[in-house]
Amino acid sequence: MLGQAKVEERIKYALSLSNAGQTEVVLLGETEQLTRFANSHIHQNVAREDLDLRVRVVLGSKIGIASTNDLSDAGLQRVVESATAAAKPQQDNPDFVSLPAPQPIPEVAGFVEATANCRPRARAEAARSICLPCREQGLNASGAFATRSYEYAVGNSLGILAYYPTTLADLRTVIMSDTGSGYAAACSLDVGEIDAESLGREAIDKALRSRDPLDVAPGEYTVILEEDTVGSLMAYLAYMGFGAQALQEGRSFMVGKLGQKVAGEHITIWDDGLDSANLPMPFDFEGVPKQRVEFIAHGVVKGPVYDSYTAGNEEGKRSTGHALPAPSDNGPFPWNVAMAGGQATKQEMLASTEKGLWVSRVHYVRPVHPLRTIVTGMTRDGTFLIENGEIAGPVKNLRFTQSILEALSEVEMICRETKLTREAFMENFIGGMRVPALKIGRFAFTSATEF
Amino acid sequence: MNELATRALNLAQTKGARYADIRLVVLETESLVVKNGIVEAVSLDVSQGFGVRVIAHGAWGFASSARLDRETVDEVTALAIEIARASAMVSGEEIDLGPPEVHVDTYNTPTEVDPFQVPLGDKIDLLLACDEAMRRTEGVAVAEGNMLFIHRNQLFANTEGSLIQQETTETGVGLVATAVGQDEVQNRSYPNSFGRHQGTGGYEFIERYDLLGNAERLGEETVALLSARQCPSGVTTLILGPTQLALQVHESCGHPTELDRALGTEASYAGTSFLTPEKLGSFQYGSEIVNITADATLPGGLGTFGYDDEGVPAQRSYLVKDGIFVGYLTSRETASRFGQRSNGAMRADGWGSIPLIRMTNINLEPGDWELEDVIADTDDGIYMEMNKSWSIDDKRLNFQFGTEIAYEIKNGERRDLLKNATYAGMTPQFWGSCDAICNEKYWDVWGTPNCGKGQPSQVAHVGHGASPARFRNVQVGVMK
């Protein structure tokens, strides 16, 4: 960690080196330590510290970008020169309006010393608390425990200067028996909130209950989707349509649907970077404070997130504070998504289900038809048949090919509790999905696998 | 850099490491993106740093930093040892790297035209010209083009005496035209989808693919797809074009033959493998015409290098021979468990990552058919090309793919254009149904620059040689 004073000094120095009409400097600093285990022992154990300083210069409206991880005076001189050299041979970009002007940024407390100072020994003890019980029970423990500290800072020639340090502890484990597996995960700003032993028990329980799975025929089923599954689906729904660039290009499911009902009336999904129940981030990578943005409210489409570039392309729009570091191929993106909880418990969902499938988690989800929000993926680490309101037994994994919005139109029950999940493709920055478990009346499974 | 490397290795041994290696890397990247007639981004990026890997206290440790100075080298080396000590708290079997790998050598990617010396203006002009050509067809909503150039300068040294300097150069380019209709979005990409085609080499890589000569076709085809017939559902004969087949090889052969997956060390993220060790040498992976190789020496392949990131020389080996599963991608540690030497597949995506077993160039060896003869020999089927979606289960058995474009084949002729084409299957049944592979004339090494694996996540650049091939009794048209 460089600290606020050093970071701001370097940003101001880099800005001072630029003769461009407008200049932006973004610093992304990360220190990560991760302990990984498999076959019930620690097999990979790593530490990394890096920072990425990105300069964006605007000459007229030609935009050049360069980055470095050398923060010396010479390194900053070179990166500003490179950004300028990148801009010069271009033509003016008629869609560019301006870098953002400063706005007040709320204070957010996102840094926990204990997480930043977590040592390898502590992570190894956590891994041991999962591995040893597995060895005793003839199970195979695997997982990863990461502790990270971040420094994010943005400055620009219009006066923005924003700095935010934060931390993240993230533990995930997969426990395998000969014929089954179970998964558990938790993440928090505070490493003290990660109870490795408890996560191990949760995954072991599911691994034991998923032994000797039976075949079940693909088809449409009533499903209970646990939070990790819902989180994955929400992440891909966001990817397929919560950003303004996709809407403006005609590629978002929101096209032609603003103000229309696309999901059940109890479905409300939003993004809020200031939400302390998520992993908060007070500003985006242009230094614009994050606003709460509703995507779907009571089943009705409200709108996407914007950065300054996409806002400039639409009359009456302003940045909602969702810019990614330039250049961003996909435009603005929400990183702190939440879905409203309901009234039910998981036990009540189960008891109300005559026949269905319980899906703990999904794997390798990918878009198939973005406008119809159709995705495909596999179930994983604990899929169970439900009969007469009870878990009848484990089943082999199934492939689903399903429209997310159609599924959200068939939601029968929503769990009261919500859980914070993180999808793999969102690992680059701080943030997650806070979502409830759902009972859905119809969900399409199109094939099965052998385990 | 040599001095820092020696310092780290000496210190590691002083602190009790029985093995250590270090990679010092300087990475330079240039990327350009053009969209709808506008230059969206030109970006020049530099990253440098080093990583120290040790075996100490009987376990692995790794630490890295962007700061290239003596004090940081000392801190990072000490941290790697501390991490190894912590690893030893939950230790497994003794780590055996097998016989020493000692190489003192240099390697440079053969290039004809240094891509970093080609003026930015020339690159922008080419992309803009392609952009204009794509948008000549009315109905093209978005035209995009991008180029990417990477230069990596890496020094590898280990306590066994290796000292290897490698400079690798990669070049990538891609065009995509997008058309939007009623509830439809269609894309056409060239030379490959999901960003670009990429290989090792210089600017001559781009000149080989006649971008401007193909750009207008992309716009025409993507608009035509909007009104094309939906791919029918059923079980039929499938002919896959080379870029789609490259991804099929990647997902259903490359990944399950990674020995670390087969031994369970990737279970917590990407999964394991159905190709478990007792199957080696006997399992019928595919039909007897299926031969799949791993080859890090292929000229121009995205997975081509001089030495892997454990200092093992690039080499070629069989993974599937005459349809039988015969080989894995290995590391020193995993290969020694089978009494073998590594076949050089350990690769890290940067100085801050440990090497993992990754693909190099994983290739379906060419057969002896002409494509038109395969089509003429097919009474009823579908030809699919250019990947649009992909998914596979965590043992690499159940898969589902979608392609940008497809054609119905009837009575040996290519007929109607089809959209939203998908197919699904189980890996050994699918490869077992392969009954025709086209010859070398159609064979090229396709770059997959976005292969994800590991925790923390790493992205590998890998290649796949393929020419079109035919498969029987495949489920197509999976989407309602």
List, for chain B, all residue ranges whose pLDDT scores fall below the cut of 70: 480
**Dihedral over Cα of B11, B12, B18, B22: its sign:** negative
Provide the CA A197 distance to its chain's centre, in angstroms: 25
Supply the mean pLDDT for chain B.
97
Tell me whether residue B167 is exposed, middle or buried, using C-beta atoms within 10 angstroms of its C-beta: 0 to 12, 13 to 18, 19 or more.
middle
B61 touches chain A (CB under 8 A): yes
Among A409, A312, A240, CA closest to A94: A312
B46 and B77 Cβ atoms separated by less than 8 Å: no
B45 and A67 Cβ atoms separated by less than 8 Å: yes
Total number of residues shown for chain A: 451
Angle at B399 between CA B396 and CA B403, to 5 degrees: 135
B69 touches chain A (CB under 8 A): no
Least confident of A21-25, A33-37, B178-182: B178-182
B459 touches chain A (CB under 8 A): no
B353 touches chain A (CB under 8 A): yes
The residue assigned the tokens 């100490």 is: B56
Cα(B427)–Cα(A200) distance, integer angstroms: 32
Looking at residue B255, the DSSP 8-state letter turns out to be T
B102 and B161 Cβ atoms separated by less than 8 Å: yes
Span between the terminal Cα atoms of chain A, in Å: 45
pLDDT at B480: 62
**What tokens appear for B261 in the block?**
């997956």
Please state the φ and ψ torsions of residue A396, each to the nearest 5 degrees.
Answer: -70, 155
**What tokens appear for A281 in the block?**
């981030």
CB contact under 8 A, A85 and B92: no
Asked if pLDDT for residue A408 goes beyond 70, the answer is: yes
Residue of A42, A90, A327 lying closest to B59 (CB–CB) = A42
Tell me the nearest-neighbour CA distance from A171 into chain B, angstroms: 11
* Percent of chain A whose predicted confidence (pLDDT) is above 90: 97
Element (H, E) at B130: helix B120-134
Supply the mean pLDDT for chain A.
97
CB-CB neighbours of A351 under 10 Å: 13
Contacts of A245 in chain B (CB under 8 A): none
Contacts of B352 in chain A (CB under 8 A): 48, 50
- Which residues 302-321 of chain B have a CB within 8 Å of chain A? none
Kindly calculate the radius of gyration of chain B based on its CA atoms and give it in whole angstroms.
Answer: 23
CB-CB neighbours of A51 under 10 Å: 23
Q: Which of A26, A368, A379, A403 to mutate to test the interface with B (most CBs of B within 10 A)?
A: A368
> Over the range A106-122, which residues count as b (16 or more CB within 10 Å of their CB) and which as e?
eebebbbeebbebebeb
Detail the DSSP E strand segments found in B159-290: 163-181, 184-190, 197-200, 229-230, 234-240
Element (H, E) at B54: strand B38-56
* Percent of chain A whose predicted confidence (pLDDT) is above 70: 100
pLDDT at A346: 98
Residue of A46, A173, A251 lying closest to B268 (CB–CB) = A173
The answer to whether the predicted template modeling score (pTM) of the entire model surpasses 0.90 is yes
- Long-range CB pairs of A190-197, under 8 A, 24+ apart, other chains included: A190/A112, A190/A114, A190/A115, A191/A112, A191/A114, A191/A115, A191/A118, A191/A122, A191/A147, A191/A167, A192/A112, A192/A114, A193/A169, A194/A126, A194/A145, A194/A169, A196/A126, A196/A127, A196/A129, A196/A130, A196/A145, A196/A171, A197/A129, A197/A130
Phi-psi region of A103 (alpha: psi -120 to 50; beta: other; left: phi over 0): beta
Please state the φ and ψ torsions of residue A390, each to the nearest 5 degrees.
Answer: -135, 160
pLDDT at B195: 83
CA atoms in the 13 A half-sphere facing the CB of B233: 4
pLDDT at A424: 82
Residue type present at position B162: S
Looking at residue A91, the DSSP 8-state letter turns out to be P
The pLDDT tens digits for A268-314 are 999 999 999 999 999 999 999 999 999 999 999 999 999 999 999 99
**Dihedral over Cα of B423, B427, B428, B434: its sign:** positive
pLDDT mean over A212-226: 98
pLDDT at B97: 98
Looking at residue A198, the DSSP 8-state letter turns out to be H
